Structure 1
Amino acid sequence: MKAFSVYGYTQSGKTTTIENIIRELKKRRYSVGSVKEIHYEKFEIDTKGSNTDRHKKAGSELVTARGYFETDVLFPEKLPIEKILSFYDQDYVVLEGVTDYNIPKILSAKSIEEIEERIDEGVFAISGRIANEIDSYKGIPVINSIDNLDALVNLVEEKVFEILPDFDPNCCSACGYDCRTLGIKILRGEANREDCVISKNKVKLFIDDREINMVPFVQNILSNAVKGVVSELDGYKRDAQIRIEIGNENEK
């Protein structure tokens, strides 16, 4: 799965840019999901006093409302982006307003001053109202999503890569960089997505079909622990593929 964020100032054209990108990606036969970051402390999608609100206040840790035409799952907390993305399996996920995760970004702006205030090394394109005035900024293409949508989505296809891990730099730098620096170098063409050693790992852990990223150190611990046990069993062969499944402990 690939993900990127479109962020910037209010009224700069963010949502219009996202709408256009989504439509064009769908036209190109990709499956697409989206995430909207809401910068408003008092925002609540649930209505105070509603049945689901009463469930939540009574202590339910996860509340689901199922209607005739939609299903809404309500978490009584702010989830990290990594957890949110685990619910998606689309080809692309477009995030609006998200800047705290290790993904490529498109900056939407109304002026050069706004670009200079918000730009960072993860930006691979600029769009929004400023695209009516300039076509590049310090080597970064500035593209109007209305008049030149094909070029913008071509750039999305070219630049956006499979989601990288976002480990603490102290936990993993096996590729020679921390995760965020590797992402920047991929955008610049100075590295490849395959340089991330996690994508090459021979030890994979799945919980309810969701793969859990592990740094090489943890992979080695898990691998050595499993091999230490199964190597004493009949049928063990050196370098054989080992598969373990653990079911629900409450099953009878």
Structure 2
Amino acid sequence: MRIFAVHGITQSGKTTTIENIIKQLKKRRYSVASIKDIHYEKFAIDQEGTNTHRHRMAGSELVTARGYYETDILFPKRLSVESILRFYTQDYVVMEGVIDTNAPKIITAHGTEEIDEKLDDTVFAISGRISNELKQYKGIPVINPITDIERLVDLIEEKVYEKLPEFPKECCDVCGYNCRELGIEILKGKAKREDCMIGHENQNIKLFINNQEIPMVPFVQKILYNAVIGVVTELDGYQKGGNLMVKVGER
């Protein structure tokens, strides 16, 4: 899964940029999903007085509203981006206004002051209304989301990498960086996604719970790997270098 965010103030062209990115990614046969962060304190789908609100007030820990054309699962709390992404399996996830995650970013803006307020090393493109005036800013390409959307999505394909974990450096520094720093180095072309062994295809052991992969730092990977190998090497049929599958169910 590849994730990236689009940041910008109201009327800067943020949603138009996202709409056209999604359409172009779909045109290229990718599966696409999105996350919209709503910066309004009183926002709630579950309004006071509705049946679902009454269920929640009575103590229901998870409420589902199912209509003829959609199903809404209502969590009575704010979930982290990591928790939300566990429900996603698409090739790309585009996040509108999400700032609390480690991901490449596109800025949309009216002018350069707005860009400077949000600019950091995770920004790989600028778009929105400012693209009617500029072609680049501080070495970053400024791309029109309407007239030049193919070029913008070309850049997304080039720059946006498979999602990195979000471990602190003291937990895992095999690559020499923390997770955010590695993402920046990948965007600069000075590192590769393969430099992180967590979630990579070359990782020699993976843990799935309810079909969701659980990221493990190398230390935990080594403990689990050694525990499994230590047991199965004593069994008939074991072949060194072969693939092993262990399924555990709780009753």
- Code of the residue aligned with 1:75 in structure 2: it is F
Cα distance in 1 for residues equivalent to 2:238 and 2:29: 46
- Please tell me the residue identity of whatever aligns with 1:52: T
* Inter-partner Cα distance in structure 2 for 1:196 and 1:176: 10
**Residue of structure 1 in register with 2:173 after alignment:** 173
The residue aligned with 1:36 is 36
Q: Deviations over 1:172-220 (max 9, x none)?
A: 1101111111111111111111111221321110001111110000111
Given the alignment of the two structures, is residue 45 of structure 1 paired with residue 45 of structure 2, yes or no? yes
SS, match of residue 217 in structure 1: helix
**Which residue of the partner structure matches residue 214 of structure 2?**
212
Q: Distance in 2 between matches of 1:238 and 1:159?
A: 38
Aligned to 2:2: 2
- Letter of the structure 1 residue corresponding to residue 218 of structure 2: P
The separation in 1 between residues aligned to 2:24 and 2:231, in whole angstroms, is 52
Deviates more, 1:225-234 or 1:134-143: 225-234
Match of 2:224, SS state, is helix
Secondary structure at 1:197 match in 2: coil
**Alignment of structure 1 residues 38-117 onto 2, 5 Å:** 38-117=38-117
The amino acid that maps onto 2:82 is: E
Identity %: 63
Match of 2:203 in 1: 201
Inter-partner Cα distance in structure 2 for 1:231 and 1:148: 57
Question: Aligned residues, how many?
Answer: 249
Residue from 239, 248, 251 that aligns with 1:246: 248
> 2:236, 2:151 → 1: CA distance?
59
Offset from partner CA, 1:79-106 (integer Å, 9 cap, x none)? 1111111111111111000122111110
Aligned-residue offset at 1:65: 0.8
Paired with 2:70 and 2:141, the residues of 1 have a C-alpha distance of 38
Give the partner amino acid of 1:5. Answer: A
> Residues of 2 paired with 1:28 and 1:240: CA distance?
36
Distance 1:157 1:68 in 2: 36
The root-mean-square deviation of aligned C-alpha atoms, in Å, is 1.4
Shift of 1:237: 5.2
Q: Find the residue that maps to 2:176 and give its secondary structure.
A: coil
User: TM-score, with normalisation over the residues of structure 2?
Assistant: 0.94
| 1:122 Cα offset (Å) | 0.4
Amino acid at match of 1:138: K
Instruction: Tell me how far 1:230 sits from its aligned partner.
Output: 3.9
State the Cα distance separating 1:60 from its structure 2 match: 1.4
1: CA distance between counterparts of 2:247 and 2:146? 50
Q: Distance in 2 between matches of 1:231 and 1:243?
A: 14
Q: Secondary structure at the match of 2:213?
A: strand
* In 1, Cα distance between equivalents of 2:153 and 2:232: 49
- Distance in structure 2 (CA, Å) of the matches to 1:11 and 1:209: 40
Q: Matches of 1:209 and 1:63 in 2, distance apart?
A: 22
Alpha-carbon offset, residue 228 of structure 1: 3.6
Distance in 1 separating the partners of 2:207 and 2:137: 43
CA distance in 2, matches of 1:146, 1:55: 45
Structure 1 residue runs without a partner (length 5+)? none
Specify the SS of the correspondent of 2:144: coil
In the alignment, the residues of structure 2 paired with residue 85 and residue 34 of structure 1 have an alpha-carbon distance, to the nearest angstrom, of 10
